[in-house]
Amino acid sequence: MILSRDECSAGDVGSPLRECWLYNRGLMRYEEALAWQRSLQSSRVNDQNLNDVLILLEHPPVYTLGTRATLDFLKFDPAATNWDVYRVERGGEVTYHCPGQLVGYPILNLRYYQQDLHWYLRKLEEVLIRSLAVYGLKGDRVPGMTGVWLEGKKVAAIGIKVSRWITMHGFALNVCPDLGGFERIVPCGIADKPVGSLAQFIPGIDLDEVRAVVATAFAEVFGVKLMNGE
């Protein structure tokens, strides 16, 4: 098992880092990214020796609901709307994706880390908290909830699916999106905490710069060597 750097003991210092392919993409339709994730996860379920993957991208406006998410948190009729709405195999309630939001899809084999979903969720939060710290922003966790908050505003949502310890889905960090789309839902089923973005704290923040910061934090937290994908 390869531990993240902050958990390595002295005897592990010389251990080689696990390799992880990094795919930086621009705007990609949700269904295309979903099919890609499913293919990557399936191939790794069948071959445990394949390298891990981190996909970073943006989506056109789209709403997604977790497997057991309730439609009560939608403020519109999904059967009578032009908005794209998908129910997918991740956990969690309804969320919204749009340009200006950095979405990360790690396809990791947790057998090489820790076979513990709570550990994995906390590590994803840590990636985002460290990324915010680069900008002098203090990201917070809220007990009993998943995600990252900034001065009481939720700036990052997390939802995952794991099959035979291979992960898919991941996190969405609001960098500089139009937050208007969140007004049509109760984001993550949380009615009493507003959604926010990094741009509200750092006007003019650049998403591509944040993308690089998040990739670096991901490599540090999970103890991997990122390799550029095609």
Is 20 a catalytic site residue? no
Q: Where are the beta strands (DSSP E) in the chain?
A: 18-27, 52-58, 62-65, 85-87, 95-97, 101-107, 148-150, 153-163, 166-174, 224-228
Q: What is the DSSP letter of 137?
A: -
> How does 69-95 read in b/e, with b if 16+ C-beta sit within 10 Å?
beeebbeeeeeeeeebbeebbbbbbbb
- What is the Rg, in whole angstroms, of the alpha carbon atoms belonging to the chain? 17
In the chain, what is the straight-line distance between the N-terminal and C-terminal CA atoms, in Å?
28
Catalytic residue numbers, as ranges: 188
